A = this chain, B = another copy of it.
Amino acid sequence: MACSRYEYVKGYEQDDRILPNVWIVIRIDGKKFHKFANTHKFEKPNDENALHVMNVAGIGVMQEFRDIVLGYGQSDEYSFVFRKDTDAFKRRAAKLLTYVTSLFSTSYVMSWPKWMQQPLAYAPCFDGRIILYPSDENLRDYLSWRQADVHVNNLYNTAFWKLVLESGLSNQQAEQRLRGTLSADKNELLYQQFGINYNNMPAMYRKGTILLRKRVLQFGQDEQDKGRQAIVPLHEDLIGAEFWRKHPEILGKYVPGKQQLLDEKSLPKLLEQQLTDHMEEKARIS
């Protein structure tokens, strides 16, 4: 059939396999989310429910792509770390990049109504990029960079919106007030003027959300049981060494089923939601 006459065009596709033995990070960013947040009236400086939508989308990605060992979300961005020795999709860059971006995007839209009152006014859009890190140190520095970023931005935004929403300053006045201030100054301002101890604010706002694979023991199970695997959201400091000591499976050789055990009682609410959803979905499909 005439197909064959045209099939030579397949030869124009180019191989894009990623170098073996490097950490593959895929970072998703919202396109024009400033406008998107305004259109959908996100709370300032943080909209808890909008962050849940992001986190649920992140969990959806990690449930599908088993070689992602860590997710990290903050604001309108999410990073996913594939283990160094993954051979998922033969390490083809475009496949990995678009699957993750697409599934994050559709999961975002689908989980939106569970958390948000207002319907989506238009289709949101995310870009994705791949960054490769050869060493464990590089990878830790990347994640530290993103978590330092959320700290800087959130401290600023918290002070800014307090000044605007509670002290009645205009945006411009608040900007001027904060220009040139250091972290210590902003902490002091929040404490003196608004009685807020910044370190007591929700960890999700200050630290972002780390997604890890853990085994979760359910009521009645003990350590001998394998538990069930879950994607667990944490809001911890990942810059210091403590985090990496507590979660050695991230950088370690991948051993299926060997992730740390967590007790179901200690689970955060989002995880419970996730478990429930998962069961409902299974029921729906079958």
Query: Which residues of A come within 8 Å of B, CB atoms?
Result: 1-3, 5-15, 17, 19-22, 31, 39, 60, 64, 94-95, 97-99, 101-110, 120-135, 138, 141-142, 144-145, 148-149, 151-152, 183, 239, 281, 284-285
Chain B residues within 8 Å of A132, by CB: 12, 14, 19
Chain B residues within 8 Å of A10, by CB: 145
Most chain B CB within 10 A, of A1, A12, A149, is at A12
Q: How far is the CA of A131 from the CA of B14 in the complex (A)?
A: 8
Q: How far is the CA of A285 from the CA of B128 in the complex (A)?
A: 26
Is chain A's interface secondary structure helix, strand, loop, or mixed overall?
Answer: helix
Q: Are B129 and A13 in contact (CB-based, < 8 A)? A: yes
Chain B residues within 8 Å of A15, by CB: 14-15, 17
Q: Which residue of B lies closest to A133 (CB)?
A: B12
Q: How far is the CA of A74 from the CA of B11 in the complex (A)?
A: 21
Most chain B CB within 10 A, of A8, A9, A120, A149, is at A9
Q: How far is the CA of A135 from the CA of B99 in the complex (A)?
A: 28
Chain B residues within 8 Å of A122, by CB: 281, 285
A250 to chain B, nearest CB (A): 17
Q: How far is the CA of A120 from the CA of B103 in the complex (A)?
A: 14
Q: Which residue of B lies closest to A31 (CB)?
A: B99
Q: Are A284 and B121 in contact (CB-based, < 8 A)? A: yes
Q: Which residue of B lies closest to A149 (CB)?
A: B3
Q: Which residue of B lies closest to A145 (CB)?
A: B6
What are the nearest 4 A-B pairs in CB distance? Answer: A6-B145, A134-B134, A98-B128, A15-B15
Partner among B3, B107, B141, B281 whose Cβ is within 8 Å of the Cβ of A8 = B141
Q: Are A102 and B103 in contact (CB-based, < 8 A)? A: no
Given contacts A17-B15, A22-B134, contact A94 B285 (CB under 8 A): no
Partner among B17, B31, B123, B144 whose Cβ is within 8 Å of the Cβ of A107 = B123
Seed contacts A99-B125, A101-B101; 11 additional CB < 8 Å A-B pairs: A13-B129, A15-B17, A19-B19, A19-B134, A39-B285, A94-B128, A94-B130, A95-B127, A98-B129, A102-B125, A105-B105
Chain B residues within 8 Å of A19, by CB: 12, 14, 19, 22, 132, 134
Q: Which residue of B lies closest to A129 (CB)?
A: B94
A101 to chain B, nearest CB (A): 5
Q: How far is the CA of A2 from the CA of B110 in the complex (A)?
A: 37
The 15 sampled A-B contact pairs (Cβ below 8 Å) are A6-B141, A9-B133, A9-B138, A12-B21, A12-B131, A13-B131, A14-B132, A60-B123, A64-B125, A98-B101, A98-B129, A102-B125, A106-B123, A106-B125, A122-B281
